[in-house]
Structure 1
């Protein structure tokens, strides 16, 4: 395997490896090495084994190596992983441009070492010399990669030297996997698909939903009032739990797009409503704040406990039902049902960049079939004249527009209640021709020091006749 150095740089000196494996294992680890080794292992788990990043990083049941790190090292590991996953196709293109042949099939561990290092060099504020040194050390300590230590050293040093040129050369590479790009192009066209893909490279915003007096709280918190009624905070370091109003339960963290579905019911005062996939409780809290009598349905015991905890902090109460929503039947039919259905989550990749590497089109199709079953059941819970708001955080029409059209086609007692764009100034573009709501991560541009973007969300309002 030969380094592809088109600029005829002088070759780097090989990294000598005179230690036996036993001696190497006894050597003290360099500071920062465990973070990089953990990041490479976890990247492999996501990309090669399709394991959710949330599961891996869970401090109760997650990866043991990650849990053993200090708080600061866990934060750095998360930053490396999320950056690597957001930029993965471009990082791989940069690495491939420097090697004249592909890495051997058995060199996946080496591939992940290089990607982790490239993510730091090209996108994170980490000293480059330390990144190179630790990556070479990783290679030397792994029997599978030891013979490639010289290659690692040479590739990464070139990345450091030619950072600006490499970033420019790879900017035309789509930052999302091919399967997902094809889905975006089919749904939104080339131009908008490219905008959505690029917008997912930007870290997520912090948006808040308040119980009341959003304008007042925007001023108190130094935030900006959004078209959804949410408050967007400027970029800041620290914990939101330290902000004014958290302890008193005056607000909760909720992406601006996630705040839309509950608002589509209109006036809810005194009405009986069920939230069928209620945890973690942001939408449940909105329904309660709007004056509804809410039944919160949740199948997972752990998520139900979290829901109760969140509502308790907010000083809110609801009727709780533990169990499968497909078997839930209220004593009397309801005025409304909110079904924020489990989905592929492809609209949330700003905060969950692993989704595009752990999901596939067959996964989306299976989830859409489950959503359809849930929706058809939800309709049976609502009395004549009542509303069903169906929503999810997927960007794929299979889980949105196509699903709604399919259900409406053979349920004559159900009709779409079109959303009026005039009621959503600043988000008129999010209302589709048929009257559904469709947000994408490229909406809400940044301005006045506030970051832009929002989750990709779909919502449709259905009325039972």
Structure 2
């Protein structure tokens, strides 16, 4: 395979397979990128394909608007995916028009030969006259199953702001092991009021200052808040439930707690083990089902980052709205409720529990807390735990002991992942 094939058509072909897998087969990008077919491609091809596929998922709505004047009839799904991919590359990637169009025509001939002349004609018109429609279009709209629920919870205007955030890429946030003002300067990052450091242009993460010595780890600023709310103390026995990939475990261990990190996935815990080795931090790592595992003794504090629809992380995972649907919600809510009750049973009297989900759906946050307080009289909100959070903003408070973060917050700093966090204490 020559260099032109490696950097051009091969990457576009792989990107097309990714977006088709999301839209037609409802496969996640993570599933497809772990497949040997993808993993076996050259690194530069994988990287370019991944970037182009994610950009296409984020900006498909704009692509449709730019193409619409030149489409006489709706194309087949596979052809529309190809047109969207090429249009996004034309409008947002700064690629030379002739190269993009020629590559798209080549791909059309491979799989959908009769469509090749139409693909050629539409993309040439888009390249010449599609810019105005592209820029005037609304950002990619969330699917109806999700948009309706979020509009009911937050209002249409706020959901529109979230959609604008989801269209962009995410900054890289890190959690420092120790508070050190010099670290942000060395990384050319921006210190955030909550204690994280935000990097706009990170490059190769493993080559950054302090990585090899374990001075920090990658962790979204919002994802770092639950452990700060729990505020583990040196010597406390703390359980991190659903621990993988491990950022919260590292936070708890860095505070001097005796941490048990439990997750059902052996493969996902490998990353945690690697980070423990790199940072020199210690934790007992357990592979088990949280609903069945029995600890040798109750814990002083428990952090449960429950499995959820992950709708607060769409900016990082633009495939999620297309591969999930309303049918996923009920099972997730039931599982979360069972895990919260199990966590409460493993606490000592007076122990602390922080429950969180990276979801925007009230059923997985506010509703979950309400149901918990109705069915159990041994758990009570802990507003003081939330009040101690560094960088706390009034807009985040969602009731006693509860925080609600949404992606449209912190617009001047580059946004946040969506999270619900509840701090509780056992009677």
TM bucket normalised to smaller:
over 0.9
* Residue 101 (structure 1) aligns with: 73
Aligned to 2:335, the other structure's residue is in SS state: helix
Question: How far apart are 1:421 and its partner, in Å?
Answer: 5.0
* TM, length-normalised to structure 2: 0.94
Q: Is the Cα contact below 8 Å between 1:400 and 1:459 reproduced in 2?
A: yes
Work out the CA distance in 2 between the residues paired with 1:46 and 1:427: 36
- 1:21 matched residue in structure 2: none
CA separation of 1:93 and 1:179: change in aligned 2, threshold 3 A: farther
Question: Contact between 2:386 and 2:423, CA under 8 Å: does it hold in 1?
Answer: no
Q: Which moved more, 1:424-433 or 1:152-161?
A: 424-433
User: In structure 2, what is the Cα distance between the partners aligned to 1:397 and 1:247?
Assistant: 40
Shift of residue 69, structure 1, vs aligned partner: 2.8
1:86 aligns with 2:58: yes
- TM-score, normalised to structure 1, is 0.87
What SS does the corresponding residue of 1:258 show, helix, strand or coil? coil
Match of 1:124 among 93, 97, 101: 93
Separation in structure 2 between the aligned mates of residue 183 and residue 92 of structure 1, nearest angstrom = 24
Task: Please report how far the alpha carbon of residue 95 of structure 1 lies from its aligned counterpart in structure 2 after TM superposition.
Answer: 2.7
Q: 1:174 Cα shift?
A: 4.4
2:18 paired with 1:49? no
Cα pair distance change 1:277/1:29, threshold 3 Å = closer
Shift in Å at residue 422 of structure 1? 7.1
**What is the distance in 1 between the residues matched to 2:391 and 2:361?**
25
**Alignment size in residue pairs:** 423
Partner in structure 2 of residue 399 of structure 1: 364
Task: State which of 257, 266, 269 in structure 2 corresponds to 1:304.
Answer: 269
Counterpart among 416, 420, 424 of residue 454 in structure 1: 416
**Superposed, which structure 2 residues align to 1:19-418 within 5 Å?**
32-58=8-34, 62-64=35-37, 66-103=38-75, 107-142=76-111, 145-170=112-137, 172=138, 174-236=140-202, 238-266=203-231, 268-418=233-383
Q: How much has 1:267 moved relative to structure 2? A: 5.0
Deviation at 1:93, TM superposition (A): 3.6
Equivalent-residue separation in structure 2 for 1:226 and 1:196 (angstroms): 21
Say which structure is richer in helix: 2
Q: Any stretches of 5+ residues in structure 1 without a counterpart?
A: 1-27
Deviations 1:9-29 (A, max 9, x none): xxxxxxxxxxxxxxxxxxx97
Inter-partner Cα distance in structure 2 for 1:35 and 1:417: 51
**Which moved further from structure 2: 191-200 or 264-273?**
264-273
Output the CA distance in 1 between the equivalents of 2:82 and 2:285: 47
CA–CA distance in structure 2, aligned partners of residues 70 and 225 of structure 1: 36
Residue 349 of structure 1 and its aligned partner are, at CA, apart by: 1.4
Contact 2:246 2:269 in 1 (8 A): no
Distance 2:7 2:183 in 1: 43
> 2 CA distance for matches of 1:112 and 1:178?
20
Q: How far is 1:423 from its partner?
A: 4.3
Aligned equivalent of 1:8: none
Counterpart Cα distance in 1 of 2:389 and 2:295: 32
Contact 1:91/1:119, CA 8 A, preserved across alignment = yes
